[in-house]
Amino acid sequence: MTQEIQKRFSDFNLNPALLKAIERKGFEHPMPVQTAVLEDESVMDNDVIVQAKTGSGKTLAFALPLLNQIDAREKMPQIIVLSPTRELAQQTAREFAWLGADLGVRVATLVGGLDMERQIRALRDGASVVVGTPGRILDHLRRGTLKTADIKSVVLDEGDHMLDMGFHDEMEAILEAMVHVERTWLFSATMPPEVLSLTKQYLNAPKKISLVSDITSHSEITQKAYIIPSRRRFEGLTNVLIWENPSKSLIFCGTRAETQDIADKLCDIGFRATAIHGDMSQRERNNALSALRGGRVSILVATDVAARGLDIDAVSHVLQYGLPQNLEAFVHRSGRTGRAGHEGSNLILLTAREARQFKGMIMHSGSKLKLEWIPAPDASEIEGQARIRFENNILEHALESNEFESWAMELLKREEAPTLVSGLLAKAYGDQPSGYSIRDDVQFEMDREKGRRDSGAPRGDKAPGRKERFQRPDMTGGVAVQFAQGRDDGWEVGPLLGALCRNIGIGREDVGNIKLRDTSATVELSPRGAALLDARKERLERDGLTVSSVKPSTGGERRGSYRSDSKPPRRDGGFRRDRDRERDGDRAGRRRFSK
């Protein structure tokens, strides 16, 4: 064992009241990120950047040293923590509350969707710690209900998520208002350019503590990539779920419509699933979470935005359904399992073509991420394993009680014993979800991708077939389809392309030039895609895409020259509308107080 694992909280110079609170919780050994911060006594004199994965115990990593030096007799805010979501802010506030209870520390939680007057009273009653979302905290600053004169410590928790959700302006306004702050600490799982830019502007020569190796090589997480057929994606997901048999799982999808559609389909075939997305009210979201925590459902289907900041314990499996926007999104998703030292499985489900793209994403990032690449299990494999699992479950129950043993022996002696056992199996086993025969589809697509790769450009320093990847057949005879949705509706090129292929039933080779604008999108389809379009418009509408016009294609541009007539692609992964719905704070209030 390493020295870090051997360390105890009592080894650090912590206030006895804090040690007492930790002991009551049953904590003895600090987690690596907590050790890294606590053993560096200079952190209180510096700005700090800590890079560590979600679920690594970072809340205690900043709460302990900050509370260790707080003056609880001072009834004005001294510590402020910014969180990307209401749920994470509430979770962090609870951590500060139990940890600082014996010190007499009061905590105010400032988030949207909750009573403003109650928050104002909490501040007036002498809260020394303030935790909240950027929108609501900025609202209190502009109202004058949050005083900053005594705030010495600012923590930006999950800074990359806050920027992903569009809080850049709010974060800047809050940081500029902290004129007496002595230390600013940033905790982030990843360090994209936006985060680095913010740190250069507002952090002064920050110390860096990195546990980045935890991000790409989780020793406690099993990493697998399943290859599923492009035209039978849901069947592939079903087979993986039956095969893996997760006790509690989180499935990530690209769009809100897709989360609800998948949750409904899973329920239809016997799984216990529910969705969580930006169109749901806070009450509906809370009910979905309660159902998962209480065991009424075992599968939560979510978008990235809806899942951020959720406090979900003991998630055994994360399933990433389709190609993530980037490797950072993949990392964040995987951090939902294997938390607090528990084992977990991170599974990504990709078509053969998406698998090639994802391997390129890993290679070009320089990541050391290692995955086991395997075809999704077929119905025949699933049936064999499911039967073994069922038999073991029956044996376990039988060993717990011998109440029916004599009856069983009597039945087995009868001539119709096989018929009786068959009837029992039909009644007990018949409602189990069954798998789909997809092996031939998967193998065909894997062989096709291998053939394309093998016939590509000569291998050298560049990836094989790089130029050929962006070539397409002639679009002459096809159509140019205009959709009434664009960037402002949350679409990006990747999710748009995936939605077209999935709903129309075509491959990427049937899609030509994509022109993405703020309020519309124009996509070139091959003659085959044009022939299928009319019959599949309803599917597209269910996924949030409305056809506004169809014109003959000029067939002029090669696929891969995707264009945007306004802004460059955003890092929010095409979830802008989700983000806008879920940002906390009173929009009208912000406009009113910014005049």
Which CATH number belongs to the domain containing residue 163 in this structure?
A: 3.40.50.300
Neighbours of 243 (CB within 10 A): 17
Q: Are residues 180 and 57 in the same domain?
A: yes
Residues 270-294, mean pLDDT to the nearest whole number: 87
Gap between the Cα atoms of 417 and 106, Å rounded? 69
Least confident of 126-140, 341-355, 469-483: 469-483
The answer to whether 387 and 248 are in contact (CB under 8 A) is: no
More confidently predicted of 252 and 29: 252
Choose one of 215, 248, 273: the last residue of a domain: 215
The answer to whether residue 268 sits within a structural domain is no
- All residues at 6 or more sequence positions from 311 whose CB lies less than 8 Å from its CB, including other chains: 87, 88, 91
Confidence of residue 55 (pLDDT cuts 50, 70, 90): low
pLDDT reported for residue 20: 93
pLDDT reported for residue 54: 65
Residues 88-92, mean pLDDT to the nearest whole number: 91
pLDDT reported for residue 130: 97
Residues 480-491, mean pLDDT to the nearest whole number: 85
The answer to whether 226 and 217 are in contact (CB under 8 A) is: no
Distance of CA 50 to the CA centre of its chain: 20
The answer to whether residue 347 sits within a structural domain is no
Q: Are residues 81 and 180 in the same domain?
A: yes
pLDDT of residue 216 exceeding 60, the answer is: no
The answer to whether residue 222 sits within a structural domain is no
Q: Are residues 402 and 478 in the same domain?
A: no
The answer to whether residue 301 sits within a structural domain is no
pLDDT reported for residue 414: 87
The top-scoring range by mean pLDDT among 259-268, 538-547, 555-564 is 259-268
Q: Are residues 424 and 505 in the same domain?
A: no
Q: Which residue bears the tokens 């779920």?
A: 241
Residues 340-365, mean pLDDT to the nearest whole number: 84
The answer to whether residue 343 sits within a structural domain is no
**With pLDDT > 90 as the criterion, what percentage of the chain qualifies?**
35
pLDDT of residue 382 exceeding 70, the answer is: yes
Gap between the Cα atoms of 187 and 162, Å rounded? 11
Confidence of residue 431 (pLDDT cuts 50, 70, 90): low
- Calculated CA dihedral for residues 179, 182, 187, 192, nearest 10 degrees: 60
pLDDT reported for residue 339: 67
pLDDT reported for residue 141: 95
User: Strand ranges (DSSP E) for 189-287?
Assistant: 207-210, 221-227, 249-252, 273-276
How far CA 239 is from CA of 162, 260, 279, 379, in Å, comes to 35, 19, 29, 7
pLDDT of residue 241 exceeding 90, the answer is: yes
Domain hosting residue 502, numbered range? 473-564
Choose one of 215, 237, 266: the last residue of a domain: 215
pLDDT of residue 182 exceeding 90, the answer is: yes
pLDDT of residue 214 exceeding 60, the answer is: no
pLDDT of residue 337 exceeding 60, the answer is: yes
pLDDT reported for residue 456: 56
Gap between the Cα atoms of 257 and 490, Å rounded? 12
pLDDT reported for residue 569: 38
The answer to whether 79 and 216 are in contact (CB under 8 A) is: no
Gap between the Cα atoms of 440 and 423, Å rounded? 33
- What secondary structure letter does DSSP report for 183? E
Q: Are residues 486 and 418 in the same domain?
A: no
What are 198-210's pLDDT values in tens digits? Answer: 889 999 999 998 8
What are 457-477's pLDDT values in tens digits? Answer: 443 333 333 333 334 456 778
The answer to whether residue 406 sits within a structural domain is yes
Q: Are residues 118 and 10 in the same domain?
A: yes
Quote the number of domains for the chain.
3
pLDDT reported for residue 307: 67
The answer to whether 16 and 67 are in contact (CB under 8 A) is: no
The answer to whether residue 129 sits within a structural domain is yes
Average pLDDT of the chain, as a whole number: 81
pLDDT of residue 304 exceeding 80, the answer is: no
Q: Are residues 164 and 50 in the same domain?
A: yes
Q: Are residues 36 and 143 in the same domain?
A: yes
- All residues at 6 or more sequence positions from 523 whose CB lies less than 8 Å from its CB, including other chains: 480, 481, 483, 496, 500, 511, 512, 513, 514, 515
Which CATH number characterizes residue 483's domain?
3.30.70.330
- All residues at 6 or more sequence positions from 434 whose CB lies less than 8 Å from its CB, including other chains: 242, 379, 382, 383, 386
pLDDT of residue 567 exceeding 50, the answer is: no
Distance of CA 4 to the CA centre of its chain: 29
**Range 32-35, long-range pairs (CB < 8 A, 24+ positions):** 32/4, 32/56, 32/57, 32/211, 32/214, 33/57, 33/58, 33/61, 33/209, 33/211, 34/60, 34/61, 34/64, 35/4, 35/7
The helix (run of H) or strand (run of E) holding residue 278 is none
Q: Are residues 54 and 168 in the same domain?
A: yes
Choose one of 361, 395, 429: the last residue of a domain: 429
pLDDT reported for residue 4: 40
Gap between the Cα atoms of 363 and 456, Å rounded? 18
More confidently predicted of 60 and 487: 60
Q: Are residues 408 and 530 in the same domain?
A: no
Q: Are residues 413 and 524 in the same domain?
A: no
pLDDT reported for residue 144: 94
Confidence of residue 430 (pLDDT cuts 50, 70, 90): low
Strand partners, 209: 50
pLDDT reported for residue 325: 76
pLDDT of residue 423 exceeding 90, the answer is: no
pLDDT of residue 187 exceeding 80, the answer is: yes
Q: Are residues 38 and 166 in the same domain?
A: yes
pTM: 0.49
The answer to whether residue 23 sits within a structural domain is yes
Gap between the Cα atoms of 30 and 48, Å rounded? 19
**With pLDDT > 70 as the criterion, what percentage of the chain qualifies?**
82
- All residues at 6 or more sequence positions from 335 whose CB lies less than 8 Å from its CB, including other chains: 53, 54, 55, 189, 215
pLDDT of residue 102 exceeding 80, the answer is: yes
The answer to whether 545 and 483 are in contact (CB under 8 A) is: yes
pLDDT of residue 15 exceeding 60, the answer is: yes
Strand 273-276 with 299-302, pairing: parallel
